[in-house]
Copies of this chain bind each other. A is one copy, B any other.
């Protein structure tokens, strides 16, 4: 096990009706004037935004709103939010939504107290010194952004989808998590979220670091539970306990707990971000195509953890089977699981046309150089093969 620092200071307020506490929470975390950031009209129509506003009013807070954040959030909405935050002198950013809304809120929090361009912190040109505090009312369990110090934004002009990671500044002060808010999610959003949270654990579980028995064991337990509860939700979308497990798993998958003491990988996420940036497909949908393809390529050079995954997570019985057979069966079962969720594992089917692999590979080179990942170091030829296996 490697040395590590683990710190998850976000106050997770979890359960039924917890959104009624958001005003008191924001006030306790120093909010004066709040910028509420959200996505589409469903948050208004469901009454959630109204309940949040009631709670802020009850706590004596003022607020302004920014709506219209879209999946694969873009820099134009961030610039709009930064301008609004500066003009209105807001002191707290409240994200009401899923990963795209939270990531946009974090970018605004950085940009609102920086005289330059917030994108400097995503391109790596500058390191931020400050950010406004961020709070969250989570409506889509998926990205884990409610407990992470990360944010991913797409720059429209250049089709660049890049992440920023500043835990000390960007971890939300609190995250209100009511599983009931997710009962009425369109099924595909639930499914994409499940794919994403599983992949957040994959990227840490598939690590070159040895001596990680404890973190591997609880990571496997979380993955098994998500697989199981996902199938429950396919039949019973209003199962509170299944919704609660999936929501809490989305946080544990990305608050650092599953990555302690390990070198992480993140190649699959980077391969996918190129696809989403170029074709604007949902991140989870892209991951469902790419994660099994990554496993096929990675397992040839480093089979151990993928073999363990097949046995301990996908429940493949290894008796009488070679390592290769066990791995192939595990990957096939993962693809079957995605199909059971109603998802495609073909990029061509997802995008509606064969993707431009040359363009994806060129963009990856521009953003990350010549290698991706740590479990195995993947070359551009490997990226190309993974994209081809995912066609």
Measured CB to CB, the residues of A under 8 A from B are 1-16, 18, 210-215, 217-218, 220-222, 224-225, 228-229, 240-241, 244-245, 248-249, 252, 257, 260-261
Nearest B residue to A7 by beta-carbon distance?
A: B11
Cβ A214 vs Cβ B225 within 8 A: yes
Q: Which residues of B contact A220 (CB under 8 A)?
A: 221
Partner of A3, one of B8, B18, B211, B249: B18
- A-B pairs, top 8 by smallest CB distance, nearest first, are A3-B15, A211-B241, A9-B9, A221-B221, A214-B245, A217-B221, A7-B11, A218-B218
Instruction: Tell me if A225 and B213 are in contact (CB < 8 A).
Output: yes
Determine which of B12, B211, B260 lies in contact with A14 in the assembled complex, contact meaning CB atoms within 8 Å. B260
Q: Which of A240, A249, A261 has the most chain B CB within a 10 Å cutoff?
A: A261
B contact residues around A248 at 8 Å (CB): 214-215, 260-261
Find A7's partner among B12, B210, B240 (CB 8 Å cutoff).
B12
Compute how far the CA of A214 lies from the CA of B229 in the bound complex, rounded to whole angstroms.
Answer: 9
Query: Which of A10, A240, A248, A257 has the most chain B CB within a 10 Å cutoff?
Result: A248
| B14 close to A6 (CB less than 8 A) | yes
Contacts of A221 in B (CB 8 A): 217-218, 220-221
* Closest Cβ–Cβ distance, residue A227 to chain B (whole Å): 11
Q: Please, which residue of chain B has its CB at the minimum distance from the CB of A312?
A: B221
- Smallest Cβ distance from A239 to chain B, in angstroms? 9
Q: Residues of B contacting A10 with CB < 8 Å? A: 7
| In the bound complex, CA of A139 to CA of B10 (Å) | 27
**Chain B positions within 8 Å of A12 at CB level:** 4-7
Q: If the complex has contacts A7-B9, A218-B221, are A14 and B261 also in contact, measured as CB distance less than 8 A? A: yes
Q: Are B211 and A222 in contact (CB under 8 A)?
A: no
Note all chain B residues with C-beta closer than 8 A to A1: 15, 240-241, 244-245
Task: Tell me which residues across on chain B come within 8 A of A261, comparing CB atoms.
Answer: 14-15, 244, 248
Is there contact, CB below 8 Å, between B229 and A225?
Answer: no
Residue from B14, B214, B249, B260 within 8 A of A4 (CB atoms): B14
Report the Cα distance A215→B222, complex, angstroms.
9
Say how far A260's CB is from chain B's closest CB, in angstroms.
7
Q: Is the CB of B13 within 8 A of A245?
A: no
A6–B248 CA distance with the chains assembled, in angstroms: 11
Residues of chain B lying within 8 A (CB to CB) of residue A13: 5
- How many Å lie between the Cα of A202 and that of B220 in the bound state? 20
A228 to B216, CA, bound (A): 14
Contact check, B213 vs A222: say whether CB atoms are below 8 A apart.
no
Provide a sorted-by-A list of 6 A–B residue pairs whose CB atoms are within 8 angstroms: A7-B12, A211-B241, A213-B229, A213-B241, A214-B248, A217-B225
> CA of A15 to CA of B1 in the docked complex: distance in angstroms?
8
> Which residue of the partner chain, among B14, B211, B257, contacts A240 with CB atoms under 8 Å?
B211
Asked if residues A217 and B213 are in contact (CB atoms below 8 Å), the reply is no
Chain B residues whose CB sits within 8 angstroms of the CB of A5 once the complex forms = 11-14
A332 to B252, CA, bound (A): 34
- Give A13's nearest chain B residue, CB to CB: B5
Which residues in B have their C-beta under 8 angstroms from that of A218?
A: 218, 221-222, 225, 252
Kindly list chain B residues whose C-beta atoms are within 8 Å of the C-beta of A252: 218
Alpha-carbon distance A210/B249, docked complex (angstroms): 17
In the complex, besides A14-B261, A218-B221, 10 extra interface pairs with C-beta distance below 8 angstroms are: A3-B14, A4-B12, A5-B11, A5-B14, A7-B10, A8-B8, A14-B260, A217-B221, A218-B252, A257-B257
Q: Which residues of B contact A18 (CB under 8 A)?
A: 3
